[in-house]
C-alpha cells in the first residue's frame, strides 16, 4: 500500500458506500472480523427498493453473518420454489420447480424468502450496525478520493450539512446501480444486447397460488420477445407484480405505463386470470436503463460489489445473490490483504470469481430470451432437471456450480442452434432468430 497512508487520518479500516444488501453484508462480515467499518448510506432506511424474491444460496451468507434468525422472526414469506406459465396454456397449468428437490450440500432449510425490500434492507443494515459497523444514513458520497491509482477515501456530504473527506485503506463501492466508482473512472459499459425496462407495483386481491404452491414465485411468459411478468407473494395478502420488456416495445406502444402493463398481463391467460380482481395499492414503480457491465471490479484500495459491479436482467432473481456473494468474496480479499497477503493477487482472484459466476448468469439469461421454451424442456426432462434446479438455487461462483452451469449453457446453445437450423422444428416459432436479434442490438 502507498507510503502516505500512515500520514493520513484513518476514519476506518474500510469505508463502504451504500447500505443495500451488498454494503450491509460486507459491513457485517468485516465487523465480525473485528475490523472498523464505516457505512455511508445516502437514503434513510427503510427505503423502497425493487427485488423481492431471493435465491436459496443467499441463506448461506445470511447464516454466516447470523442474520437468518432475524429473517425468520420478521416472518418473511417462505419461498420453496418457482413456477412458470406459457401465454396460451390453460389457466392453472404451469411448470414448477421445488428448490429443495436436490438439496444443495450443507443445506439446512429447503426454502428461501420473498421480502419487502424496505423492511429487509433496513433489518440487514441494522444487523451490520448491531455487529459493530458504524452506519451513517443520509450521507451522500460525492466521489472516491484517489492518490495516484490508489483509493484512499471518499468525499461525503450530508444534505445541507457538513462535507468531509474520510479516509480508509479500503473503499468498497456498494452504491448499487448508481455505480459510483465505475462512473467516476469511466468503467461502466451499457449492455449492447439488452435494453430492458420494468414496470411494477404492489397489489391486493390477486388470486392466491394453488394449494401446495403457497410462497412460490410465478413467472409468466408473455409471447413477446424479451418480455415476462412476475408475481411474488409478500406478507399480509400483498403481492408484488411486475412486467419486464424491451424498452422499445413500451416506447412504440404509445401507451401510459398502466395501459402498457395491462396489455402485457392480458397476453397470458393465467396472468390475466389471477389479476382479475387485483387492486393496486402503491404508485407505479418504473425501472429502466439497466443491464450494464463494468470493465474492472477492483484496484489498489478499492473493490466494487453488488449492482455497482454489474447488473444482469432479474429473470432468475439473482440480484441479491450476486450482492451477497460478491460481498463475501470481497470481504475475503480485503481481510487477507489487511493481514498482509498480496493485494493484487487477492483482488484479481476476487474479480475472477465474481465475473465467472455473473457471466454464466448472463449467458443463461441471453439463452432464455432467445428461446424461452428451452428452459421448460430442460426442466421437465429428468436427465437435466437436477442441473436446472441447481442453477435456480443460485451461487454460480464456486467451481463445481460454475462448471455445471457452463455444461448446461453449452448444451442449450447447441439445442438453440439445432432449432434455428431446422425451419420445421416445433420450437422455431418461439425462437428469436439471429437476424431479429441483430436488429434489436
**What is the smallest separation between the CB atom of 291 and ligand FAD, expressed in angstroms?**
9
Question: Which one of 56, 87, 104, 176 is in contact with ligand FAD (CB under 6 A)?
Answer: 176
Please say which residue, 57 or 85, places its beta carbon nearer to ligand FAD: 57
Out of 26, 174, 181, 227, point to the residue binding ligand FAD (CB under 6 A): 174
C-beta closer to ligand FAD: residue 18 or 169: 18
Q: Residue 343, interface with ligand FAD (CB under 6 A)?
A: no
Q: Any contact of residue 299 with ligand FAD (CB under 6 A)?
A: no
Grid cell at residue 255: 401507451
Percentages of the chain per state (helix, strand, coil), in multiples of 5: 40, 25, 35
CA-to-CA distance for 125 and 22, rounded, in angstroms?
10
Which grid cell sits at 303?
473493490
Kindly indicate which of the ranges 12-20, 26-34, 101-109, 274-282 contains the residues binding ligand FAD, using the contact rule CB under 6 A: 12-20
Q: Which of 20, 56, 233, 430 binds ligand FAD (CB under 6 A)?
A: 20
Site for ligand FAD in 30-59 (CB under 6 A): 40-43, 49-54
Handedness of CA 411, 417, 420, 422 (dihedral sign): negative
Q: Is the peptide bond before 46 cis (omega within 30 degrees of 0)?
A: yes
Find where cell 420478521 sits. Answer: 74
Which lies closer to ligand FAD via its Cβ, residue 214 or residue 422?
214
Q: CB under 6 A: which stretch of 271-279, 302-310, 370-378, 379-387 binds ligand FAD?
A: 302-310
For residue 51, give Cα distances in angstroms to 167, 234, 295, 409: 32, 12, 24, 25
Terminal-residue alpha carbon distance, the chain: 43
Contact flag: residue 99 with ligand FAD (CB under 6 A): no
Neighbouring-strand partners of residue 280? 203
Q: Check: CB of residue 138 under 8 Å from CB of residue 158.
A: yes
Q: Is 22 in the site for ligand FAD (CB under 6 A)?
A: yes
Which residue from 25, 319, 376, 357 is spatially nearest to 172, judged by alpha carbons? Answer: 25
Least Cβ distance, residue 327 to ligand FAD (angstroms):
8
* 157 vs 404 by CB, closer to ligand FAD: 157
Cell numbers of 107, please? 443445506
C-alpha cell at 233: 407473494
Q: Which of 153, 301, 319, 430 binds ligand FAD (CB under 6 A)?
A: 319
Question: What is the contact surface with ligand FAD in residues (CB under 6 A)?
Answer: 17-23, 40-43, 49-54, 140-141, 174-178, 180, 198, 244, 287, 290, 306-308, 314, 317, 319-321, 323
Amino acid at each position: 500500500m502507498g507510503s502516505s497512508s500512515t500520514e493520513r487520518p484513518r476514519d476506518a479500516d474500510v469505508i463502504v458506500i451504500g447500505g443495500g444488501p451488498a454494503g450491509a453484508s460486507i459491513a457485517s462480515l468485516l465487523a465480525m472480523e473485528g475490523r472498523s467499518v464505516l457505512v455511508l448510506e445516502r437514503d434513510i432506511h427503510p427505503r423502497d427498493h425493487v427485488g423481492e424474491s431471493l435465491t436459496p444460496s443467499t441463506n448461506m451468507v445470511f447464516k454466516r453473518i447470523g442474520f437468518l434468525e432475524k429473517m425468520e422472526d420478521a416472518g418473511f414469506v417462505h419461498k420453496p420454489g418457482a413456477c412458470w406459465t406459457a401465454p396460451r396454456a390453460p389457466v392453472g397449468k404451469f411448470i414448477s420447480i421445488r428448490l429443495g428437490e436436490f438439496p444443495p450440500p450443507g443445506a439446512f432449510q429447503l426454502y428461501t424468502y420473498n421480502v419487502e425490500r424496505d423492511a429487509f434492507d433496513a433489518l440487514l443494515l441494522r444487523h451490520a450496525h448491531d455487529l459493530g459497523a458504524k452506519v451513517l444514513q443520509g450521507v451522500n458520497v460525492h466521489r472516491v478520493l484517489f492518490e495516484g491509482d490508489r483509493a484512499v477515501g471518499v468525499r461525503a456530504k450530508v444534505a445541507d450539512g457538513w462535507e468531509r473527506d474520510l479516509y480508509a485503506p479500503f473503499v468498497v463501492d456498494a452504491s448499487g446501480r448508481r455505480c459510483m466508482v465505475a462512473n467516476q473512472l469511466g468503467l461502466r459499459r451499457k449492455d449492447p444486447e439488452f435494453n430492458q425496462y420494468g414496470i411494477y407495483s404492489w397489489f391486493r386481491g390477486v388470486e392466491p397460488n394453488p394449494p401446495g404452491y403457497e410462497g412460490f414465485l410465478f413467472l409468466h411468459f408473455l409471447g413477446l420477445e424479451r418480455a415476462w411478468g412476475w408475481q411474488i407473494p409478500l406478507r399480509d395478502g400483498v403481492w408484488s407484480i411486475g412486467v419486464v420488456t424491451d424498452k422499445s416495445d413500451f416506447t412504440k406502444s404509445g401507451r401510459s405505463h398502466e395501459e402498457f402493463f395491462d396489455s402485457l398481463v392480458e397476453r397470458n391467460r393465467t396472468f390475466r386470470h389471477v389479476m382479475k380482481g387485483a387492486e393496486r395499492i402503491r404508485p407505479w414503480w418504473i425501472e429502466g436503463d439497466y443491464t450494464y457491465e463494468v470493465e474492472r471490479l477492483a484496484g489498489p484500495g478499492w473493490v466494487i460489489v453488488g449492482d455497482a459491479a454489474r447488473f444482469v436482467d432479474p429473470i432468475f432473481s439473482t440480484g441479491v445473490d450476486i450482492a451477497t456473494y460478491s460481498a463475501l468474496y470481497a470481504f475475503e480479499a480485503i481481510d487477507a490483504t489487511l493481514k498482509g497477503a498480496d493485494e493484487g493477487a487477492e483482488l484479481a482472484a476476487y474479480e475472477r470469481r465474481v465475473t465467472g459466476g455473473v457471466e454464466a448468469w448472463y449467458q443463461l439469461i441471453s439463452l432464455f430470451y432467445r428461446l424461452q421454451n428451452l428452459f421448460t424442456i430442460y426442466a421437465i426432462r429428468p436427465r437435466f432437471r437436477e442441473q436446472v434446479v441447481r442453477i435456480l438455487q443460485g451461487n454460480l461462483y464456486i467451481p463445481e456450480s460454475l462448471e455445471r452451469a457452463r455444461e448446461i449453457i453449452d448444451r442449450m446453445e447447441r439445442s438453440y442452434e439445432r432449432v434455428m437450423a431446422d425451419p420445421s422444428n416445433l420450437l422455431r416459432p418461439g425462437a428469436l432468430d439471429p437476424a431479429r436479434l441483430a436488429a434489436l442490438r
